[in-house]
Amino acid sequence: MTQTLSDQLTPELAERTRVLLRGFGAEIPAPGDLTVRTPITGGQLLTIRADTEEQAHAAITRAATAFDAWRTVPAPGRAAVVRRLAELLTAHKTELGELVTLEAGKIGAEAVGEVQEMIDICEFAIGLSRQLYGRTMPSERPGHRLMETWHPLGVVGVISAFNFPVAVWAWNTALALVCGDTVVWKPSETTPLTALACHTLLRRAAVDVGVDPEVHQLIQGDSRIGAQLVDDERVALVSATGSVRMGRIVAPRVAQRFGRCLLELGGNNAAIVTPSADLELAARAIVFAAAGTAGQRCTTLRRLIVHADVAGPLTALIERAYRQLRVGNPLDDGVLVGPLIDQAAHDNMRIALERALADEGELVCGGERVEVFGDNGHYVRPALVRMPAQTAVVREETFAPILYVLTYHELEHAIALHNAVPQGLSSSIFTTDQREAERFLAADGSDCGIANVNIGTSGAEIGGAFGGEKQTGGGRESGSDSWKAYMRRATNTVNYSAELPLAQGIKFG
């Protein structure tokens, strides 16, 4: 019966995908060697042609050529295309969210929320276009002015992952465009259709406001196509989101040619819960952070470090919530946990749970496969596992909904446990004690790029810089002064006197 449902649904989803693409104004891709599957049933949506290395090279050439003129457009003028993109995203918000669900498996609320995040970063970038400030510094020489200016950097290569197939691209692209850069985007080969939709909308926005659409290029394919961006000297900045393994490959290759790298890699995020915490509030935040997007966020909560005095009550609250979570087709109302992206993700989760139990962990609940469409699609119940210690498997990032629970007695020990992993993206503490909160945020507290108090590890706002330390890569995207990664700085000295005094009081001749 379930097999029949899957067989019936997949063609419907494939046809709906074509309808959505036409609605964005995109041409239906010609059949090719890249198979696009929906994680909802595991069935095929479309096949498309991957770009050749020659086609990728040509796309970079077009972006490099367009940059010569684009960098001379005043920044508020460059913002016009981003403003129009925001308008188009708003008009197509529901449809683009649906396409994200079809291709990445996110539930509807999260998918539409991702599109809203795109709109938000566009609005941020529009305002930023009038705030690309430099500084004026006092010169030690009379009749001189010392200042710094910021200029467009060049071609920006964006390599994005499947779990945020459109938002991360928007973080980079909206800022890069107002900074005067052109963009070449290589999306995950798992989610090429959402990329095609966004590319179509952006080029339409460019045409609508009289901008050369060649400022944005899209290349599709596997890591061989991504290598074009990594190795081409015309690509001034490579912004890559993915695994630590990918980052170890990308970073040295870009550095070898003296290019710039912006890396957003793994996250093994933790939350500390102290005895003073509001446990009801903490439980709600923890469940969303750990189970949302089926555990496939870089900011997913994976480790829970709880004071021994409240570990029992808190674990019971989380267990109760986990047992009530509805796992199923993300297109259905009321579903809170959709599918894992593919078989490999499911296998990795199963192996991690086996290792945790071999390390004397106790499976409190979850971890089992849920048959939504029989053997089609990879649906699982989020797993809650008590661990006696932070073993090797706990220190690793498994991109699936597994939450490991550890206990502590002293806050210093909790912070040490928190920091004792290779990754450093997002972190939280739940407490009503200001001293504990401030201790967690101090220089010797959380070592992550994001440190929160009384909220979960996921759900970052675009106004703040997003990124992390250690094996997370050190990159920063989105808000604050992240724009500086997309520009080059020049220090300028202007002599408006009739003399030529030298710095440091040097007398020459």
Query: What are the DSSP calls for 112-139, one per residue?
Result: HHHHHHHHHHHHHHHHHTT----EEE--
N-to-C CA span, the chain: 95
Share of the chain above pLDDT 90, in %: 96
Contacts of 341 (CB under 8 A, 6+ apart): 39, 104, 105, 162, 163, 190, 296, 378
Q: Which residues of 420-459 are buried (b: 16+ CB within 10 A; e: fewer)?
A: ebebbbbbbbbbeeeebbebbeeeebbbbbbbbeebbbbe
SS3 state of residue 305: strand
pLDDT in tens, 205-217: 999 999 999 999 9
pLDDT band at 460 (very low <50, low <70, confident <90, very high): confident
Residue 8, pLDDT score: 87
- pLDDT above 60: residue 250: yes
Q: How far apart are CA 476 and CA 408, in angstroms?
A: 32
Residue 1, pLDDT score: 45
Catalytic site positions: 264
The H-assigned helical ranges of 292-329 are 308-324
Q: How far apart are CA 429 and CA 274, in angstroms?
A: 8
Element holding 207 (H helix, E strand): helix 192-208
Cβ of 260: how many Cβ atoms within 10 Å? 17
- pLDDT above 90: residue 448: yes
Residue 447, pLDDT score: 98
Fold of 269-461: Aldehyde Dehydrogenase; Chain A, domain 2 (3.40.309)
- pLDDT above 70: residue 3: no
Q: How far apart are CA 176 and CA 481, in angstroms?
A: 13
At the fourth CATH level, the homologous superfamily of domain 51-265+473-489 is: Aldehyde Dehydrogenase; Chain A, domain 1 (3.40.605.10)
pLDDT in tens, 18-28: 999 999 999 99
Q: Which residues of 143-162 are buried (b: 16+ CB within 10 A; e: fewer)?
A: ebeeeeebebbbbbbbbbbb
Query: What does the mean pLDDT of the chain come to?
Result: 97
pLDDT in tens, 81-117: 999 999 999 999 999 999 999 999 999 999 999 999 9
pLDDT in tens, 461-501: 999 999 999 999 999 999 999 999 999 999 999 999 999 99
Where are the domain boundaries for CATH 3.40.605.10 in the chain? 51-265+473-489
Q: How far apart are CA 386 and CA 367, in angstroms?
A: 13
pTM score, two decimals?
Answer: 0.96
Residue 203, pLDDT score: 98
Where are the domain boundaries for CATH 3.40.309.10 in the chain? 269-461
Q: How far apart are CA 81 and CA 63, in angstroms?
A: 16
pLDDT in tens, 402-444: 999 999 999 999 999 999 999 999 999 999 999 999 999 999 9
Report the pLDDT averaged over residues 367-396: 97
Q: Which residues of 117-137 are buried (b: 16+ CB within 10 A; e: fewer)?
A: bbbbbbebbbebbeebeeeee
Report the pLDDT averaged over residues 48-75: 98
Residue 2, pLDDT score: 53
pLDDT in tens, 109-168: 999 999 999 999 999 999 999 999 999 999 999 999 999 999 999 999 999 999 999 999
Beta strands in 81-181 (DSSP E): 135-137, 144-152, 155-159
